[in-house]
Structure 1
Amino acid sequence: MANHVQVVAPEGQEYWIEIAKHIEQVAASSAQQQQQYHSNSSGMSFTTGLLLGQLSVVLLVIVCFKYLLLEDVRYGRKPRSFSNRGVSIPAPPTKPSLPSTTTILNKTFYDIYDHTPESLDWMTVLMAQAIAQYRDDSKVNNRLIKALAEALNGGVRPDWV
Protein backbone atom coordinates (compact mmCIF):
# COMPACT_ATOMS: atom_id res chain seq x y z
CA MET A 1 0.00 0.00 0.00
CA ALA A 2 3.01 2.33 -0.18
CA ASN A 3 2.08 3.33 -3.71
CA HIS A 4 -1.47 4.29 -2.75
CA VAL A 5 -2.74 7.33 -0.86
CA GLN A 6 -6.15 7.75 0.72
CA VAL A 7 -7.83 11.03 -0.21
CA VAL A 8 -11.02 12.32 1.39
CA ALA A 9 -13.20 14.44 -0.88
CA PRO A 10 -15.13 17.45 0.48
CA GLU A 11 -18.34 15.44 0.29
CA GLY A 12 -16.87 12.88 2.68
CA GLN A 13 -16.14 10.18 0.12
CA GLU A 14 -12.84 8.36 0.34
CA TYR A 15 -10.68 7.62 -2.70
CA TRP A 16 -7.53 5.59 -3.11
CA ILE A 17 -5.11 7.10 -5.64
CA GLU A 18 -2.18 5.22 -7.03
CA ILE A 19 0.78 7.61 -6.79
CA ALA A 20 2.90 6.08 -9.57
CA LYS A 21 0.19 6.54 -12.21
CA HIS A 22 -0.49 10.10 -11.06
CA ILE A 23 3.23 11.01 -11.21
CA GLU A 24 3.52 9.52 -14.70
CA GLN A 25 0.52 11.53 -15.90
CA VAL A 26 1.92 14.79 -14.47
CA ALA A 27 5.37 14.12 -15.97
CA ALA A 28 3.87 13.30 -19.37
CA SER A 29 1.76 16.46 -19.45
CA SER A 30 4.74 18.57 -18.32
CA ALA A 31 6.96 17.08 -21.04
CA GLN A 32 4.24 17.71 -23.61
CA GLN A 33 3.91 21.36 -22.56
CA GLN A 34 7.69 21.81 -22.63
CA GLN A 35 7.85 20.28 -26.13
CA GLN A 36 5.17 22.71 -27.34
CA TYR A 37 7.06 25.65 -25.81
CA HIS A 38 10.33 24.73 -27.52
CA SER A 39 8.64 24.12 -30.87
CA ASN A 40 7.02 27.59 -30.71
CA SER A 41 10.23 29.44 -29.79
CA SER A 42 11.98 31.59 -32.39
CA GLY A 43 15.04 29.37 -32.56
CA MET A 44 17.50 32.12 -31.60
CA SER A 45 19.96 30.80 -29.06
CA PHE A 46 21.49 32.67 -26.15
CA THR A 47 24.83 32.91 -27.94
CA THR A 48 23.25 34.42 -31.04
CA GLY A 49 21.45 37.03 -28.95
CA LEU A 50 24.62 37.82 -27.02
CA LEU A 51 26.66 38.28 -30.19
CA LEU A 52 23.99 40.48 -31.79
CA GLY A 53 23.86 42.61 -28.64
CA GLN A 54 27.63 43.02 -28.56
CA LEU A 55 27.68 43.89 -32.26
CA SER A 56 25.02 46.56 -31.79
CA VAL A 57 26.97 48.15 -28.92
CA VAL A 58 30.19 48.19 -30.96
CA LEU A 59 28.39 49.80 -33.91
CA LEU A 60 26.86 52.41 -31.60
CA VAL A 61 30.29 53.28 -30.17
CA ILE A 62 31.79 53.55 -33.68
CA VAL A 63 28.99 55.86 -34.86
CA CYS A 64 29.33 58.07 -31.78
CA PHE A 65 33.10 58.19 -32.19
CA LYS A 66 32.79 59.11 -35.86
CA TYR A 67 30.29 61.92 -35.42
CA LEU A 68 31.65 63.36 -32.18
CA LEU A 69 35.37 63.31 -32.89
CA LEU A 70 35.89 62.99 -36.63
CA GLU A 71 33.17 65.24 -38.04
CA ASP A 72 34.52 68.06 -40.17
CA VAL A 73 33.23 71.45 -39.02
CA ARG A 74 33.50 72.90 -42.54
CA TYR A 75 30.38 71.03 -43.69
CA GLY A 76 28.18 72.82 -41.18
CA ARG A 77 29.09 76.31 -42.31
CA LYS A 78 27.52 78.05 -45.26
CA PRO A 79 29.86 79.63 -47.80
CA ARG A 80 30.00 83.41 -47.57
CA SER A 81 30.36 85.82 -50.39
CA PHE A 82 33.16 88.34 -49.95
CA SER A 83 32.52 90.19 -53.20
CA ASN A 84 31.20 93.39 -51.51
CA ARG A 85 33.97 93.58 -48.96
CA GLY A 86 37.37 95.05 -49.32
CA VAL A 87 40.57 93.13 -48.90
CA SER A 88 41.10 92.14 -45.32
CA ILE A 89 44.29 91.11 -43.66
CA PRO A 90 43.96 87.86 -41.76
CA ALA A 91 44.75 87.95 -38.09
CA PRO A 92 48.04 86.41 -37.07
CA PRO A 93 47.64 82.81 -35.97
CA THR A 94 47.47 82.44 -32.24
CA LYS A 95 48.50 79.37 -30.38
CA PRO A 96 45.48 77.86 -28.63
CA SER A 97 45.99 77.68 -24.94
CA LEU A 98 45.25 74.61 -22.89
CA PRO A 99 43.36 75.07 -19.67
CA SER A 100 45.73 75.15 -16.77
CA THR A 101 45.85 72.39 -14.20
CA THR A 102 44.29 74.70 -11.64
CA THR A 103 41.38 75.48 -13.98
CA ILE A 104 40.73 71.79 -14.62
CA LEU A 105 40.92 70.98 -10.90
CA ASN A 106 38.46 73.78 -10.10
CA LYS A 107 36.01 72.70 -12.81
CA THR A 108 36.04 69.07 -11.64
CA PHE A 109 35.78 70.05 -7.95
CA TYR A 110 38.91 68.05 -7.12
CA ASP A 111 40.72 69.02 -3.94
CA ILE A 112 44.30 67.74 -3.94
CA TYR A 113 44.81 67.95 -0.21
CA ASP A 114 41.44 66.74 1.08
CA HIS A 115 40.14 63.74 -0.85
CA THR A 116 39.63 60.11 0.02
CA PRO A 117 42.35 57.84 -1.34
CA GLU A 118 39.85 55.30 -2.69
CA SER A 119 37.84 57.80 -4.74
CA LEU A 120 37.80 57.91 -8.52
CA ASP A 121 38.01 61.70 -8.67
CA TRP A 122 41.44 61.36 -10.26
CA MET A 123 39.76 59.61 -13.20
CA THR A 124 37.55 62.65 -13.79
CA VAL A 125 40.60 64.93 -13.77
CA LEU A 126 42.48 62.61 -16.13
CA MET A 127 39.56 62.50 -18.57
CA ALA A 128 39.19 66.30 -18.43
CA GLN A 129 42.87 66.70 -19.27
CA ALA A 130 42.60 64.19 -22.15
CA ILE A 131 39.54 65.98 -23.56
CA ALA A 132 41.32 69.33 -23.29
CA GLN A 133 44.31 67.88 -25.16
CA TYR A 134 42.07 66.40 -27.90
CA ARG A 135 40.34 69.75 -28.34
CA ASP A 136 43.69 71.50 -28.57
CA ASP A 137 44.95 68.99 -31.14
CA SER A 138 41.81 69.33 -33.25
CA LYS A 139 42.18 73.12 -33.36
CA VAL A 140 45.74 73.02 -34.64
CA ASN A 141 45.82 72.06 -38.32
CA ASN A 142 43.51 69.03 -37.92
CA ARG A 143 46.31 67.19 -36.14
CA LEU A 144 43.91 64.78 -34.40
CA ILE A 145 42.21 63.71 -37.62
CA LYS A 146 45.56 63.18 -39.33
CA ALA A 147 46.90 61.17 -36.39
CA LEU A 148 43.79 58.96 -36.30
CA ALA A 149 43.86 58.44 -40.07
CA GLU A 150 47.54 57.50 -39.84
CA ALA A 151 46.89 55.08 -36.98
CA LEU A 152 43.83 53.46 -38.55
CA ASN A 153 45.00 53.37 -42.18
CA GLY A 154 48.69 52.75 -41.57
CA GLY A 155 49.74 55.46 -44.02
CA VAL A 156 47.88 53.84 -46.93
CA ARG A 157 44.87 55.67 -48.30
CA PRO A 158 41.95 53.57 -49.49
CA ASP A 159 41.36 53.37 -53.27
CA TRP A 160 37.97 55.06 -53.08
CA VAL A 161 39.37 58.25 -51.53
Structure 2
Amino acid sequence: MTRLIRSLSDTPAALTYPEHGSTLQGPLPRGYAHLHLTVPVGAGQDVFETAGEAVTAWRMHRASGAQVRADAPRAAPGVRLEVSAGAGPLRLRAPCEVIWARYEERRIGFGYGTLDGHPECGEESFVVDLHDDGSVWFTVTAFSRPARWYSRLGGPVVPVLQHAYARRLGRTLARLAG
Protein backbone atom coordinates (compact mmCIF):
# COMPACT_ATOMS: atom_id res chain seq x y z
CA MET A 1 0.00 0.00 0.00
CA THR A 2 1.26 3.48 -0.80
CA ARG A 3 2.15 5.39 2.32
CA LEU A 4 0.65 8.85 2.76
CA ILE A 5 3.17 11.64 2.38
CA ARG A 6 6.25 10.01 3.95
CA SER A 7 3.84 8.23 6.20
CA LEU A 8 1.36 10.26 8.16
CA SER A 9 2.01 7.98 11.13
CA ASP A 10 5.65 9.11 11.12
CA THR A 11 4.71 12.78 11.03
CA PRO A 12 4.72 14.42 14.48
CA ALA A 13 1.57 16.48 13.78
CA ALA A 14 -0.74 16.71 16.76
CA LEU A 15 -4.49 16.95 17.01
CA THR A 16 -5.51 20.61 16.90
CA TYR A 17 -8.24 20.59 19.55
CA PRO A 18 -8.49 19.26 23.14
CA GLU A 19 -11.98 17.67 23.13
CA HIS A 20 -10.94 14.31 21.63
CA GLY A 21 -13.77 11.80 21.27
CA SER A 22 -16.64 14.23 21.77
CA THR A 23 -18.42 13.00 18.61
CA LEU A 24 -18.66 9.57 20.29
CA GLN A 25 -19.23 10.44 23.92
CA GLY A 26 -20.86 13.87 23.66
CA PRO A 27 -21.83 16.47 24.39
CA LEU A 28 -20.36 18.50 21.56
CA PRO A 29 -18.14 21.24 23.01
CA ARG A 30 -19.02 24.91 23.13
CA GLY A 31 -17.16 27.41 20.99
CA TYR A 32 -17.52 25.43 17.77
CA ALA A 33 -20.09 25.22 14.99
CA HIS A 34 -22.05 21.97 15.35
CA LEU A 35 -23.31 19.69 12.60
CA HIS A 36 -25.69 16.79 13.04
CA LEU A 37 -27.29 15.16 10.02
CA THR A 38 -29.10 11.81 9.91
CA VAL A 39 -30.39 10.33 6.66
CA PRO A 40 -31.99 7.00 5.72
CA VAL A 41 -29.79 4.65 3.70
CA GLY A 42 -32.07 1.66 3.17
CA ALA A 43 -33.13 -1.44 5.05
CA GLY A 44 -31.78 -4.84 6.00
CA GLN A 45 -28.62 -6.51 7.21
CA ASP A 46 -26.98 -6.51 3.77
CA VAL A 47 -27.50 -2.75 3.36
CA PHE A 48 -26.14 -2.18 6.86
CA GLU A 49 -23.00 -4.24 6.22
CA THR A 50 -22.39 -2.72 2.79
CA ALA A 51 -22.86 0.81 4.14
CA GLY A 52 -20.59 0.13 7.12
CA GLU A 53 -17.86 -1.17 4.83
CA ALA A 54 -18.22 1.83 2.49
CA VAL A 55 -17.86 4.24 5.42
CA THR A 56 -14.94 2.57 7.20
CA ALA A 57 -12.95 1.67 4.05
CA TRP A 58 -13.06 5.29 2.75
CA ARG A 59 -15.24 4.25 -0.23
CA MET A 60 -18.05 6.67 0.62
CA HIS A 61 -15.67 9.64 0.66
CA ARG A 62 -14.00 8.61 -2.58
CA ALA A 63 -17.32 7.98 -4.35
CA SER A 64 -18.50 11.45 -3.30
CA GLY A 65 -15.59 13.03 -5.18
CA ALA A 66 -12.95 13.40 -2.47
CA GLN A 67 -9.51 11.87 -2.67
CA VAL A 68 -8.45 9.88 0.35
CA ARG A 69 -4.97 8.68 1.13
CA ALA A 70 -4.63 6.73 4.35
CA ASP A 71 -2.09 4.74 6.30
CA ALA A 72 -4.51 1.80 6.50
CA PRO A 73 -7.30 0.35 4.36
CA ARG A 74 -9.88 0.72 7.16
CA ALA A 75 -10.65 3.16 9.94
CA ALA A 76 -9.03 2.33 13.27
CA PRO A 77 -7.81 4.52 16.12
CA GLY A 78 -4.50 6.14 15.24
CA VAL A 79 -4.86 5.78 11.46
CA ARG A 80 -3.83 8.97 9.72
CA LEU A 81 -5.40 10.11 6.49
CA GLU A 82 -5.64 13.06 4.18
CA VAL A 83 -8.94 13.94 2.54
CA SER A 84 -8.63 16.37 -0.35
CA ALA A 85 -10.72 17.98 -3.07
CA GLY A 86 -10.01 20.33 -5.93
CA ALA A 87 -7.23 20.35 -8.49
CA GLY A 88 -3.62 21.46 -8.70
CA PRO A 89 -2.75 24.47 -6.56
CA LEU A 90 -6.45 24.83 -5.66
CA ARG A 91 -6.52 21.38 -4.02
CA LEU A 92 -7.76 21.68 -0.44
CA ARG A 93 -5.99 19.18 1.83
CA ALA A 94 -7.36 18.08 5.18
CA PRO A 95 -5.05 15.90 7.32
CA CYS A 96 -6.86 13.91 10.02
CA GLU A 97 -6.39 11.12 12.53
CA VAL A 98 -9.00 8.52 13.42
CA ILE A 99 -9.87 9.02 17.09
CA TRP A 100 -12.33 6.17 17.52
CA ALA A 101 -13.92 3.37 15.50
CA ARG A 102 -16.85 1.06 16.19
CA TYR A 103 -17.52 -2.28 14.51
CA GLU A 104 -20.57 -3.46 16.42
CA GLU A 105 -23.56 -5.65 15.65
CA ARG A 106 -25.84 -2.67 14.96
CA ARG A 107 -23.41 0.25 14.64
CA ILE A 108 -20.39 0.77 12.41
CA GLY A 109 -18.43 3.98 12.04
CA PHE A 110 -15.58 6.19 13.11
CA GLY A 111 -14.64 9.70 14.09
CA TYR A 112 -11.58 11.63 13.03
CA GLY A 113 -9.92 14.72 14.38
CA THR A 114 -8.06 17.50 12.63
CA LEU A 115 -4.28 17.68 12.43
CA ASP A 116 -2.04 20.67 11.74
CA GLY A 117 -2.66 21.85 8.18
CA HIS A 118 -6.40 21.13 8.21
CA PRO A 119 -8.53 24.18 7.28
CA GLU A 120 -10.76 23.55 10.31
CA CYS A 121 -10.17 22.59 13.92
CA GLY A 122 -12.40 19.91 15.41
CA GLU A 123 -13.81 16.42 14.94
CA GLU A 124 -16.24 14.66 12.62
CA SER A 125 -17.87 11.24 12.79
CA PHE A 126 -19.56 9.00 10.24
CA VAL A 127 -21.82 6.29 11.67
CA VAL A 128 -24.18 3.70 10.19
CA ASP A 129 -26.90 2.31 12.49
CA LEU A 130 -29.23 -0.66 12.03
CA HIS A 131 -32.49 0.11 13.86
CA ASP A 132 -34.88 -2.44 15.40
CA ASP A 133 -37.29 -2.09 12.47
CA GLY A 134 -34.51 -3.06 10.02
CA SER A 135 -34.00 0.46 8.69
CA VAL A 136 -30.44 1.66 8.15
CA TRP A 137 -29.46 5.23 8.96
CA PHE A 138 -26.32 7.27 8.38
CA THR A 139 -25.32 10.06 10.76
CA VAL A 140 -22.66 12.73 10.43
CA THR A 141 -21.81 14.58 13.64
CA ALA A 142 -19.18 17.30 13.79
CA PHE A 143 -17.88 20.27 15.69
CA SER A 144 -15.47 22.67 14.06
CA ARG A 145 -14.14 26.18 13.86
CA PRO A 146 -11.84 27.85 11.34
CA ALA A 147 -8.14 27.09 11.66
CA ARG A 148 -6.78 28.86 8.57
CA TRP A 149 -7.13 32.37 7.19
CA TYR A 150 -9.12 31.15 4.19
CA SER A 151 -11.63 29.22 6.32
CA ARG A 152 -12.03 32.29 8.55
CA LEU A 153 -12.53 34.39 5.41
CA GLY A 154 -15.31 31.98 4.36
CA GLY A 155 -17.23 32.96 7.50
CA PRO A 156 -20.85 31.78 7.50
CA VAL A 157 -20.45 30.04 4.12
CA VAL A 158 -18.22 27.31 5.62
CA PRO A 159 -20.94 25.65 7.77
CA VAL A 160 -23.31 25.73 4.78
CA LEU A 161 -20.69 23.95 2.65
CA GLN A 162 -20.04 21.42 5.43
CA HIS A 163 -23.75 20.62 5.67
CA ALA A 164 -24.00 20.27 1.88
CA TYR A 165 -21.03 17.89 1.89
CA ALA A 166 -22.62 15.81 4.68
CA ARG A 167 -25.85 15.55 2.64
CA ARG A 168 -23.77 14.52 -0.39
CA LEU A 169 -22.10 11.79 1.67
CA GLY A 170 -25.53 10.52 2.72
CA ARG A 171 -26.79 10.37 -0.86
CA THR A 172 -23.58 8.68 -1.98
CA LEU A 173 -23.81 6.10 0.80
CA ALA A 174 -27.44 5.31 -0.02
CA ARG A 175 -26.44 4.73 -3.64
CA LEU A 176 -23.46 2.54 -2.68
CA ALA A 177 -25.45 0.48 -0.18
CA GLY A 178 -28.55 0.11 -2.36
TM-score (norm 2): 0.21
Q: More relative contact order in 1 or in 2 (CA 8 Å, sep 6+)?
A: 2
Higher normalized strand content (fraction of residues): 2
Larger Rg: 1
TM-score (norm 1): 0.23
